[in-house]
Amino acid sequence: MRNVIFCHCQQCRKQSGHYYAATSVEDARLYVTGEEHITWYAASAAAKRGFCRVCGSALFWKREASEVTSIMAGLFDSPTGLKGGYHIFTNEKGDYYTVADGLPCFSYSDD
Ligand SMILES: [Zn+2]
C-alpha cells in the first residue's frame, strides 16, 4: 500500500473532525468483507467517500474514474507496516495545530 498521505483540506477536516490520513491500493488488489454495510457519499462531482453505515466509521475516499481507492490509515491494527508520506493542502489546515513531523508539505494534491 502507498505511504500515508495526510490531507488538511477543508472538506477532509470538516468530514473527519481533524484531518485525513490515508493509504491507498489499486482496486484490483482491494478485497473488502462486509461490503453490504458500506455507503458511498458523493462528496463532490469528482470524488466520493465510503463509510460504514453500521458503526459510522470513515473507510474510503475514491476519485471518480480512478482505479485506486484511498483507505483510512486508522482502520488497520498495529503494526500496520505503513509509513507517513507527506501532507497535502496544508494551506487549508486548521489554525489550532502545527505540522512539524518533518514530512514534505504541499498546498495541493498531486493525484
Ligand atoms: Zn482532503
104 domain-assigned: no
- Going from the Cα of 93 to the center of ligand 1, the distance in angstroms, rounded, reads 10
Could you list the beta-strand ranges (E) of the chain: 4-7, 20-26, 38-42, 47-52, 58-63, 68-72, 84-88
Does residue 50 contact residue 60 with C-beta atoms inside 8 Å? yes
CATH number, domain containing residue 84: 2.170.150.70
pLDDT of residue 67: 97
**pLDDT one-digit tens code per residue, 38-85:** 999 998 899 999 999 999 999 999 999 999 999 999 999 999 999 999
pLDDT of residue 72: 97
Nearest to 23 by CA among 108, 86, 92, 90: 86
Phi, psi of 87 (to 5 degrees): -110, 140
Q: How many domains does the chain have?
A: 1
- Whole-number Å distance between alpha carbons of 102 and 52: 33
C-alpha cell at 54: 453500521
* Beta strand 4-7 pairing with 84-88: parallel
Does residue 75 contact residue 57 with C-beta atoms inside 8 Å? yes
**pLDDT one-digit tens code per residue, 7-31:** 999 999 999 999 999 999 999 999 9
pLDDT of residue 23: 98
102 domain-assigned: no
Q: Please, what is the average pLDDT of the chain?
A: 95
- Going from the Cα of 61 to the center of ligand 1, the distance in angstroms, rounded, reads 9
- Going from the Cα of 65 to the center of ligand 1, the distance in angstroms, rounded, reads 18
110 domain-assigned: no
- Going from the Cα of 18 to the center of ligand 1, the distance in angstroms, rounded, reads 10
